[in-house]
Amino acid sequence: MSSNKQTLLDQIKADILSQNICPDLAEQATQLVFGDGNPDADMVFIGEAPGKNEDLQGIPFVGAAGKFLNEMLASISLKREDIYITNIVKYRPPNNRDPLPDEKAAFLPFLQSQLEVIQPKIVVTLGRHSMDSLLPGLQISQVHGQPKRYNGQVYLPLFHPAAALYNGGLRQTLLDDFAAIPTILAKIK
Ligand code: URA
C-alpha cells in the first residue's frame, strides 16, 4: 500500500515540475520541496513555504521551526517518520517573503492531490497561510486547537511553530494544542 502511495506522490511531484508551476519562484529556488514523511500517516502537517534550510536540503521543516516542531511531536510520543509533512507553496519565496495569493492558488490542486493519496485522518495546518488555503474564513487566534470538519476532512488549525520562536507565549499555547492531538485523533471515526 505504502509503495503504491509513494508512486502516486512521486507522480504529483513530477507533474509540478513538468507543468512548470510558479516559474519565477522555481528560478530563484534551489529545488522543489515537495514533502517528507510517511505516506501511510494518520496526520499530515502543512506549513507555509520552505525557508533557507529547507530550500538547500529539499526537505520541509528542517530549520529552527522544524526543530521546535520535532520537539512538539516528541511531546506526544511521535517522530517525523510517523507523520507526513509538506507546505502549501513548494518553492522558497525570495528572502522568505510571504507567499502570494497566486502562488498559494497555483499549488493548491497539488496539495489536494497529495491529501487524496495519503487520506489522513486529520490535516494539521500550521499558521495562517495554510489554514486560509484549506479552511477559508477563520481567525487563527479564535480557532487554534479546535478540530474542524470541512468537506469530509477533519482539520486542526494550529499556530505556526516559527511564530513561537518570536513570541514566547505562543510556545506554551502550541504545546497545549499539541497535547490535545492524541484525544482528538482517537475520537475521529
Ligand atoms: N516554515 C514553513 O512554513 N515551512 C517550512 O518548510 C519551514 C519553515
Task: Name residues contacting ligand 1 (CB within 6 A).
Answer: 47-51, 54, 60-61, 63, 65, 87, 162
For residue 47, give the ligand 1 atom closest to its CA: 3
* Average of per-residue pLDDT across 134-140: 95
**What is the pLDDT at residue 102?**
98
* Average of per-residue pLDDT across 5-21: 98
Q: Is the pTM of this model over 0.75?
A: yes
- Taking only the tens place, the pLDDT of each residue in 36-80 is 999 999 999 999 999 999 999 999 999 999 999 999 999 999 999
Question: pLDDT category, 21, cuts 50, 70, 90?
Answer: very high
Tell me, in angstroms, the distance from the centre of ligand 1 to residue 186's CA: 27
**What is the pLDDT at residue 185?**
97
Q: What is the spatial order of strands in the sheet that 84-87 belongs to?
A: 36-37, 84-87, 43-47, 122-126, 153-158, 148-150
CA-CA distance, 64 to 138, in Å (whole number)? 27
**What is the pLDDT at residue 168?**
86
**What is the pLDDT at residue 189?**
78
Tell me, in angstroms, the distance from the centre of ligand 1 to residue 49's CA: 5
CA-CA distance, 134 to 172, in Å (whole number)? 25
Q: In this structure, what are the phi and psi dihedrals at residue 123, rounded to the nearest 5 degrees? A: -110, 115
**What is the pLDDT at residue 166?**
87
Name the 3-class secondary structure at 68: helix
Q: Which residue has the cell 510558479?
A: 22
CA-CA distance, 57 to 66, in Å (whole number)? 13
Question: pLDDT category, 182, cuts 50, 70, 90?
Answer: very high
For residue 60, give the ligand 1 atom closest to its CA: 6
Return the CATH fold of 3-187: Uracil-DNA Glycosylase, subunit E (3.40.470)
Nearest to 51 by CA among 127, 132, 140: 127
- Taking only the tens place, the pLDDT of each residue in 75-132 is 999 999 999 999 999 999 999 999 999 999 999 999 999 999 999 999 999 999 999 9
Please check whether residue 141 is in contact with residue 163, taking contact to mean a CB–CB distance below 8 angstroms.
Answer: no
Q: Whose CA is nearest to atom 7 of ligand 1?
A: 61
For residue 160, give the ligand 1 atom closest to its CA: 3
**What is the pLDDT at residue 35?**
98
Question: pLDDT category, 1, cuts 50, 70, 90?
Answer: low
- Taking only the tens place, the pLDDT of each residue in 147-169 is 999 999 999 999 999 999 988 89
Please check whether residue 184 is in contact with residue 147, taking contact to mean a CB–CB distance below 8 angstroms.
Answer: yes
CA-CA distance, 4 to 119, in Å (whole number)? 13
Nearest to 161 by CA among 85, 65, 73, 79: 65
